[in-house]
Every structure is written in C-alpha cells, then in structure tokens.
Amino acid sequence: MKPTTFFKRALALLAGSVLFGAGPVKLLNVSYDPTRELYQDINAAFAKQWKAKTGVDVEISQSHGGSSKQARSVIDGLQADVVTLGLAYDIDSIAEHAHLLPANWQTRLPNNSTPYTSTIVFLVRHGNPKHIKDWDDLVRPGVSVIAPNPKSSGGARWAYLAAWGYALKKNNGDDKKAQEFVTRLYKNVPVLDSGARGSTTTFAQRGIGDVLLDWENEAFLALDELGKDKVEVVTPSLSILAEPPVSVVDRVAAKHGTTQVAKAYLEFLYTAEGQEIGARHYYRPRSPEVAAKYASRFAKVQLFTIDEVFGGWQKAQKRHFDDGGVFDQIYLR
C-alpha cells in the first residue's frame, strides 16, 4: 500500500467511523439557533415514519448556530444534507459562493420552501413595568431593548425589517422617517449578541434590558422555560411574516447518496404531523387545518411580507445589512 493511500484510508476510516459508519442512513441537518427543540421532535417522528415506510433506519444529526454563521460553515465544507436556516438570503449565499445547490432552490418546495413561519414579538418582564405595547414604546427614552446583531443573526434581521416596515406604514411610506425611527430604536439597544439564543439568555438569565426583540417561537419557549411569573409575551399591532426556509443541499446529498431521504425529510415538515409538531413548538403552520386547530396559540397580528415592503431578500440585504449599508450607518451614529 502506498503511503498516500494508507493516509487516505486511515483518514477516511477515522472520518467514516464517525460520520458514515455502517448501519442506518445518516442525515445532517444544519439549522439556525432557535430550532433545537423543534427538530429533536421532528427527527424522532420522521425516523419512525421512514422506518415504517421503507424499513430503513435513519439517524438525523443536528448542528445549530447563528443562521449566517451556519451558512458560512456549509460554504466552508460542513457536510449538510439539508439546511433549515433563518432566512432565504443565507441559503442564497450557499448557492452563490459554493454552488452546492441551484439558484432557484426556493421554488422547489411549496410556500417559498418555508414549511412554517414565525414573526417578531416582544418579550417583557413580568407585569410589563415599562408598559410596552407596540413598536412606538421601544423608541421611548429610558427603554432598554435587547436584540441580536443583524449582521450575524437571522432573527435580528427580521426584527430590524419589522421595525422598519412598521415605521413606513405609520409614516405613509416616508423612507426618511422610517430610518429615523429605526435609528432611535437601535439607540436603545445596549448589547448586540451574535445569535437569537444568546440574546434570550442575556435578557432572561442575566436580567439585562426591559424588552427583548425575538422570534415568536423563541419568546414562547422562553416563557415556558422561565415561567409566566418572570416574563410576558407582547405582540405588536403589526409585524413581519418571517419565513425560515429549508432546502436539500444537492451536491452534498448526492455524494452521500441521501438525496431521496433528505427530500422526504423536508416534505415531512409539510405533512399534518410535521405541521402539528411545528405548531406545538410555536412555529405558525402553513396548513390551514393545523392552523385552525392551534389558532388559540398564536395572537392575531397583521403581517407584511419582505417581498411586499422591501422587494425580497437580495434587495433588503444589499441596502440594509451589507458593509456600509443602512444598518452600519445608523448603529455607528
């Protein structure tokens, strides 16, 4: 055996024994920060269903972190069979920089490849001592707002855009006034954490801030974990329809021979069972039947989409979050 072959085999064995050992089919789902609990349940349910259908065991591994950071890892070679990230732009950048999936990935599954949606709500301290009811209350002097950094966190970008959209609507589409409003809002933000979960712990565990701008599902999870005697969820009058999309990473899945099971895994999210699991974890279901069944879980709130107000993620990203964009200008000032 040539030394290089030996080296290769030894490495392959080492990596293989960990990643692709004999036995069940293995899938890696690279996801964003708040979905840990959701996918624990989804994985178990899907594995059961797949076993019943095909007789094959499937083992799904999870990796979690800030949405953009996770996308970066996949670009750098993290072997994700599927990605389930916080916003479409992050999957776009995997397509753009690493060509691991086609640029039109978002058209391959129903509802913009978004099996569940969420929105941005406020988490406040018990009794709501600062009387925070709507976006206008966040820009009052003396209100301390906790939000993650829109540069690295998907949820933070949705939150920023939600505030911007609210201000636009309130000022009859005046872009300048919207920027003023968002600038005042971020003046009230003392710490920018890098991810949604980090911000939640800052607010809940370290007790910093009067209000946390957060994913709806993350806010309700915090409510369950911390107790109703500690925090309350406040839903604003208007917010954004946050669409965290999913996709098979074609080239990785093809190499692993997992394309079929990866597709089935994502399609499972759209089934009644998948939708119910999502709803139980406070993700808003797409299916009208499941939505009706869990209607009492979700406050009625007027939602606008990113396409309506900002013309899609590519445009929003370029204008607001790229280096030197509007966010840089308002946060530096």
Partner 1 sequence: MATVALELPRKRTSAIPRSIRRDPPLVRWGLTLLALLALGVFIVLPLVAVFVQAFAKGLPVYLAAIREPDTLSAIRLSLLAAGVSVPLNLVFGVAAAWTIAKFQFKGKSLLVTLIDIPFAVSPVVSGLIFVLIFGAQGWFGSWLIDHDIRIVFAVPGIILATTFVTFPFVARELIPLMQSQGSDEEEAALTLGATGWQMFFKITLPNIKWGLLYGVVLCTARALGEFGAVSVVSGHIRGQTNTLPLHVEILYNEYNYSGAFAVASLLSVIAVITLTLKKFLEWKTKEGASK
Stretch that binds partner 1, among 72-80, 84-92, 101-109, 126-134 (CB under 8 A): 72-80
The owner of tokens 């490849």 is 113
* Closer CB to partner 1, 197 or 284, in the complex: 197
Question: Which residue among 24, 45, 49, 98 contacts partner 1 (CB under 8 A)?
Answer: 98
Report the DSSP pairing between strands 302-304 and 238-240: parallel
Q: How many residues bind partner 1 (CB under 8 A)?
A: 29
* Closer CB to partner 1, 11 or 56, in the complex: 11
Stretch that binds partner 1, among 73-81, 82-90, 145-153, 275-283 (CB under 8 A): 73-81
The owner of tokens 């594995």 is 47
The rounded distance, in Å, linking the Cα atoms of 36 and 20 is 22
Question: Which residue among 6, 77, 174, 308 contacts partner 1 (CB under 8 A)?
Answer: 77
* Closer CB to partner 1, 26 or 320, in the complex: 26
Q: Closest distance between partner 1 and the C-beta of residue 144, in Å? A: 22
* Closer CB to partner 1, 196 or 242, in the complex: 196
The rounded distance, in Å, linking the Cα atoms of 127 and 122 is 13
Q: Closest distance between partner 1 and the C-beta of residue 21, in Å? A: 11
Site for partner 1 in 5-64 (CB under 8 A): 8, 11-12, 14-15, 18-19, 28, 33, 36-37, 61-64
What SS3 state is found at 233?
strand
Question: Which residue among 75, 234, 291, 301 contacts partner 1 (CB under 8 A)?
Answer: 75
Q: Closest distance between partner 1 and the C-beta of residue 40, in Å? A: 9
The rounded distance, in Å, linking the Cα atoms of 214 and 212 is 6
Whether the Cβ atoms of residue 105 and residue 247 lie closer than 8 Å to each other = yes
Residues 222-241, one symbol each (x = binds partner 1 by CB under 8 A, - = not), give ---x----------------
Q: Which of 327, 320, 329 is nearest to 89 (CA)?
A: 320
- What's the number of CA atoms in the CB half-sphere (13 Å) around residue 221? 22
Site for partner 1 in 173-212 (CB under 8 A): 197-198, 201
116: which strand partners? 285
The rounded distance, in Å, linking the Cα atoms of 144 and 129 is 12
Helices of type H across the chain: 3-19, 36-54, 67-75, 88-98, 110-113, 135-138, 154-170, 175-187, 196-204, 216-226, 250-256, 259-268, 272-280, 288-293, 306-310, 313-316, 326-332
What SS3 state is found at 93?
helix
66 belongs to the binding site for partner 1 (CB under 8 A)? no
* Eight-state DSSP code of residue 297: G
* Closer CB to partner 1, 127 or 227, in the complex: 227
* Closer CB to partner 1, 12 or 103, in the complex: 12
Q: Closest distance between partner 1 and the C-beta of residue 154, in Å? A: 16
Site for partner 1 in 290-329 (CB under 8 A): none
What residues make contact with partner 1 under the rule CB under 8 A?
A: 8, 11-12, 14-15, 18-19, 28, 33, 36-37, 61-65, 73, 75-79, 97-98, 197-198, 201, 225, 255
